[in-house]
Structure 1
C-alpha cells in the first residue's frame, strides 16, 4: 500500500473517529445522567439547591395551594356573611405568605427527602415505561408533589388532605412516549457500539499512518476537536433552550440552572476528552522525529533505561491521579481504569524500547516513511 493511500485512509478513519467520539460522549452522558435513576435523583437534588429552582418550586407550590378551593372556602367560612365576598381577594393575598413559607420549607431536610423520593419514583416510572410497561404507559410519567404540598398546607394551617389533585404533574404520555422509548433504546445500543467503534477507528487510523508518531498526534487532535465541539454545542444548545423556555414563560434563571446541572456530566466528559486528546498529542510528539522530541528522549533516557520499574510506577500514578480528578473519560468505570493502565504501560514500553535502541545507535524498528509531496 502506497504511503499516500495509507495517509488518506488514516485521515478518513481519524475524521470518522472524531464524529464517533461525539456520539459516544452523548450516549454516555444520556445513559449515565438521564437514564440512571440514582444519578438522576442526585441531579434533581442539586437542582433544588439552586436559588432560582427554589423560587420556581416555591411559587408553584404556593399557586397550587392558593388556586384550589381549600383556602378560599376556609376564609369564607370564617368571615361574617357581609364580608364573605372578600374571601377570594384574601385567598389571593395569602399566596405571598404561602410562597415565603414554601421557600423556608424547601430548605428543610424533610422537604429534601420528599423531593428525592418524588424524583426517584417518577424516574422509576419512566424507566419502567421505556422498558415496556404498558399499564404505566397509559398513565404517563407523573411527578407527584402532593406530599410536599401537604406539608406546606399543614404549615399554613390548612387540612393536608384537602388539596385534592393539586400538585400532580403529568408528563411524557401518549405519542411522546413512543418516540422517547425509541430514542432511549437507540442511546443504550449506540453507547457501547460507538465506544468499541471509536477504539477500532483510532487504532486503525494510527496503524495505517505512514508515520506512527504523527498518527498518534492526529488521533489526539481528533479527540481534542470532538471534546471542543461538544463543549461549544453544550453552550450553544443551552442558550437556545433557555431562550426558548424563557419565551414560553419559564423563569430564565431557573431554566439556565436546570440546563447547566442536567448537562454537567456532558461538560465533564467533553472536558476529559480534551485532556485525553492533549495527552495523546504530547505522547505522539515525544515519540516523533523533531529535534526537540529527540532532546526530550535523550534527557529521559537514563531514567527509562536504568529505572524502568520506577517509570512504569510513576506513569501509573499519573494515570490514577487523572482518573481520580475525573480528567479522563469514563473515569469511574472499571474497564476504563484497566484500559488506561494498559495503554499507559504500552506507551512506556514503546518509548523505553525506542530510547534503548537510540542509545545503542540502532535504527528505529519501523522508520517513518518519507512524506510524499
Structure 2
C-alpha cells in the first residue's frame, strides 16, 4: 500500500511585501504554526507554476501542479469548467467561461467594477442564467449555469469561427479599469455582441440581478483531454474544492471529485466539510487527495489585506492542522498556485513557495513558511508540472 499523500493548496496565497504590514506579506503576518513546523521539519523551496508562454491563471497553474504540462494540454479556462459539469462537447464546439459582472456602461467607455457581480450566490445566479438563456438563446449560443458568478457559454461549431481566436482579458484582471480593449474585440462579432446586449437588457429588468449588469465571456476553447492521474502516478486520487476549475481538472484526469455542501470558495467556506471528506476518502482506500482553498485568492483580488491574512490563518488552523494530525505518517505537500498580490489585485508569475513534509526527509530548518524563506533555501523547481513527480520521488 502506497503512503498517503496530502496536497494542500491555498489559492493565491503568495504576495508581495506590503507597506502597511511593515514590509511583510500576508503569509508572513498570518498565524501559521502548523505550516511553520512542517516546513521546518521538511523540504522547502520555490516552483515556477506558469510557463513563460502562458498567462498566470489558476487554470494553467493548477493543471501544472496536478502533474500535467499546460503547454501540451491546456485549451482554455472554459473547457476545464465544462469538464467539471460533465458537459459533452462536440469536436467543433467552443465553450467560454462566462462571469456575471458589474460594469459601468457596457461599451467603449465602460469600466469593470466587479468581476463577480457582488459575489452573487449560486441560487440567485441560476435564476439569472436561466432568464438570459430563455430570452437570448440561439442556434449558436447556449448559456449553462455553474456556481456563484462562474458560468459557461457554449458556442456551437465555434472551433473554426473567428471568435475562437478572440483575446478577452479575465475580468478579475481589470477591476476598476476600462473595458475598451475587450469591447472592441467583442464588437468584431456581431452575433456575440448581440447576445451580450440581449443579456444586459434581461439583467437590467430582472428583480434578482442586484449588482449584476452584464455577462463577460472569456477563456474559450475546445474540449479538455487529460491523461488519467492513476496511469501517471499509480494512485487512487481525489480533488476537493468549491470551484469548478479544480473539479474539472480532477474529472478530466479520472480523479474522484468530492462535492462539499457549504463550500463557497470564500473566507466562510465549509472547512470542516472539506477536512472530513479528505479523511473519509483516505481512510476508505484513497491514496492521494488534493484539497483546494480559494479564499486567499478572492481576498487578493478584492484588495482585502486583513481578510487575506485571516484566510491564510484559517487554512493553517482548519485544514493543515487537522489533516496532518489525522495522518501523521502521510506525506504533506503545501503550496499556492500563483501569487495574487494585494497591490495589483490579480495573478502574477512569481515562483510560489512550497514545502514537502514526510518522514526521512532532510529538515530545512527554516524559521517559518514564507515567500522569503522558501526563496532563501535555493531549491527551485523550474516547471510546475515537475513538482508532483519530484515530491513522489522524494518519498520513495
The structure with the largest helix share of the pair is: 1
Give 1 or 2 for the bigger CA radius of gyration: 1
The structure with the largest strand share of the pair is: 2
Give TM-score scaled by structure 2 length.
0.23
Give TM-score scaled by structure 1 length.
0.24
More RCO (CA 8 Å, sep 6+): 2
